[in-house]
Amino acid sequence: MTRGAAKKVTIYLNEDTPFHGGTLYEAILEFLLHKGVAGATATRCMAGFGGHHRMHTPKIELLAEHLPVRVEFVETAEKVEEILPTLYDMVNDGLIEVQDTTVIKVADRDRQAAQPKRPHERRQGPATLMRIFLGEADKWHGEPLYDAIVKKLRLMDIAGATVSRGILGYGAKGHTHKQSFLHLSRDMPVMIAVVDTPEKIQAATGAVEEMLEDGLIVLSGVEAIRLVHSLRAAEAADG
Amino acid sequence: MAKLVRLHFSESDRHRGRPLYEAIVEKCREMRIAGATVFRGLEGYGETAGLHRARWFTREQPIVVVIVDAAENIDRLLPAVEEMMDTGLIALSEVSVVRVQKSARQ
């Protein structure tokens, strides 16, 4: 699983729909696990009705059986294509739904946990350096603007960003930023430096421009050497 | 023509038990590079997924080392620095140096 376009499959079933001596939802989960699907979740629902138009609800004892179960999973389009025929065959009483979705983040704590030190991989090429100049006291929806910008850049999958605080300066606001004993809050100049491919920086520039009220964005061409671990490099190659 | 190098890595990066930025500055002196300046960032992120920022007891802020020298000196330095860095970014740009104090270098 990587970031980007994917398919989300939802299967609506009864919790006691039989399947070869067991229940269907368990059989489906086992099948998905066997097929190496990234993850699947079965949820027992509160109440509902389906194709038989009979209400299933835990409130009335007579109807408390056959509660609805929903099995969901997200996978790449190819993988869904591969397993859908079997699912179609398995679900003899229920409903299968496929929708387009976008994967924003796939985080795996175990994989990120301290890996043995591996040699880094070197990638060199032309890149763009973007420098954003703003004030430390600038806010964006109540949080520091520099914080919001870094989070936004991370969401956009920009390679990296560094925020540095200057010790003196002036800029678009026309006042000198300096530290004084009289002021408890600080409004020092802040610079965010970002290096990535020209295309990605162009996208980032647009996003940052929207957030920046008054400030300065400076772009320059640089030669970049990225030292990355091969795990990340392999992921990038996959995506 | 002079070159400006920017090395980005984390404050927690170490080289033979000591902070990497210290080791790199020392290496620059050893190789008689004109100068190096270390900046500590407020926060940031990079090759390692976590957001680097100062917490209560641990400091893991981003570090930027800026080095300016003649192109041939920079080319001499880079392989050594790459060897010392684990993950990170090296950004190179060509700059024109307006003034250097000749007396500072023998």
ipTM over 0.95: no
A164/B40 touch (CB, cutoff 8 Å), yes or no = yes
Q: Which residues from chain B sit within 8 angstroms of residue A117, using beta carbons?
A: 86
Q: What is the pTM of this model?
A: 0.70
Averaged confidence pLDDT in chain B = 84
B89/A222 touch (CB, cutoff 8 Å), yes or no = no
Q: What pLDDT is recorded for position A157? A: 86
- Which parts of chain A sit beneath pLDDT 70? 62-64, 110-118, 172-185, 230-239
A160/B93 touch (CB, cutoff 8 Å), yes or no = no
Q: What pLDDT is recorded for position A234? A: 47
Q: How does DSSP classify residue A141?
A: T
Please, what's the b/e burial string for A38-56 (b: 16 or more CB within 10 A of its CB; e: otherwise)?
Answer: eebebeeeeeeebeeeeeb
For the beta carbon of residue A58, count every other beta carbon within 10 angstroms.
12
Q: Which residues from chain A sit within 8 angstroms of residue B39, using beta carbons?
A: 164
Residue of A nearest to B38 (CA): A164
* Domain boundary assignment for chain A: 4-103, 120-238
Q: Which residues from chain B sit within 8 angstroms of residue A225, using beta carbons?
A: 78, 82, 89-92
Q: Does B85 touch chain A (CB under 8 A)?
A: yes
Enumerate the β-bridge partners of residue B89. A226, B8
A193/B49 touch (CB, cutoff 8 Å), yes or no = no
Q: Do domains A4-103 and A120-238 have the same CATH topology?
A: yes
Give the domains, in start order, of chain B with CATH numbers: 1-43+54-65 (3.30.70.120)
Q: What pLDDT is recorded for position A180? A: 60
* Residues B42-56, mean pLDDT to the nearest whole number: 68
Q: What pLDDT is recorded for position A238? A: 47
Rounded-to-integer distance, Cα B85 and Cα B8, Å: 10
CATH number, domain A4-103, options 3.30.70.120, 3.40.50.2300, 3.90.1170.50, 3.40.718.10 = 3.30.70.120
Could you tell me if B46 and B87 are in contact, meaning their C-beta atoms sit under 8 angstroms apart? yes
Fold of A120-238: Alpha-Beta Plaits (3.30.70)
Q: How does DSSP classify residue A56?
A: B
Distances (CA, A) of B75 to A203, B1, B33, B82, B94: 32, 12, 11, 11, 12
Distances (CA, A) of A158 to A11, A120, A131, A203, B46: 36, 19, 14, 10, 9
B91/A223 touch (CB, cutoff 8 Å), yes or no = yes
Q: What pLDDT is recorded for position A229? A: 75
Residues in chain A whose beta carbon is closer than 8 A to a beta carbon of chain B? Answer: 107, 112, 117, 120, 122, 127, 129, 146-147, 150, 154, 159-165, 190, 193, 195, 220-229, 232
State the sign of the Cα–Cα–Cα–Cα dihedral A206, A212, A213, A214.
negative
B89/A164 touch (CB, cutoff 8 Å), yes or no = no
